[in-house]
Amino acid sequence: MPTLHLTKVAFACRDLEALQRRVAGRTVGGEIRVVTRMRPKRMDELIGGSLYWIVKHRLIAGQQILRFEDRPDGRIDIVCSAELATVSPMPRRAHQGWRYLEEADAPSSEDDGSGLGALPPRLYGRLAALALV
């Protein structure tokens, strides 16, 4: 069965370092919990996939999805590995909540040779807004 992934905006993170600090600050026992209101309908397909983070209109890093847990308040925890793996940046529009990402569309952990990953986030964001990247 092909692996399915999620994308989520890392709200208020300006760069990869800010995301890394956030993940480190929320890690408990090698896991991090990401709260969501809605239970993914394709939840079983997501276990073993990744939760990819969008920062400044770029998909820049991901964490393995370990499981989903119900919370007493009715929301759902997406339980992920605390290990944040950087990926070759890919342009992505911001969105609310999370979105599914098929394996064929998932980013690679290898550098694609385009040099886009080396661009400053602000410049990349402007180029993305102009549909140039």
DSSP string, 4-50: EEEEEE-TT--SHHHHHHHHHHH-BTTEEEEEESS--TTHHHHTTSE
Domain with 42, as residue range(s), is 4-129
Is the pLDDT reported for residue 1 higher than 60? no
Query: Tens digit of pLDDT for each residue in 55-76?
Result: 988 899 999 999 999 999 999 9
Per-residue CA distances from 20 to 27, 32, 77, 115 (Å) = 11, 12, 19, 22
pLDDT at residue number 133: 66
When the pLDDT of each residue in the chain is averaged and rounded to a whole number, the result is 87
Is the pLDDT reported for residue 81 higher than 60? yes
Per-residue CA distances from 84 to 9, 17, 63, 99 (Å) = 15, 11, 5, 19
Is the pLDDT reported for residue 88 higher than 90? no
CA proximity to 24, closest of 85, 82, 65, 64:
82
Query: With bands split at pLDDT 50, 70 and 90, how would you rate the model's confidence at 129?
Result: low
Query: With bands split at pLDDT 50, 70 and 90, how would you rate the model's confidence at 79?
Result: very high
Is the pLDDT reported for residue 125 higher than 70? no
Six-digit token pair at 15? 């760069």
Looking at the structure of the chain, the number of domains it has is 1
Query: Tens digit of pLDDT for each residue in 101-124?
Result: 998 888 865 555 666 666 676 676
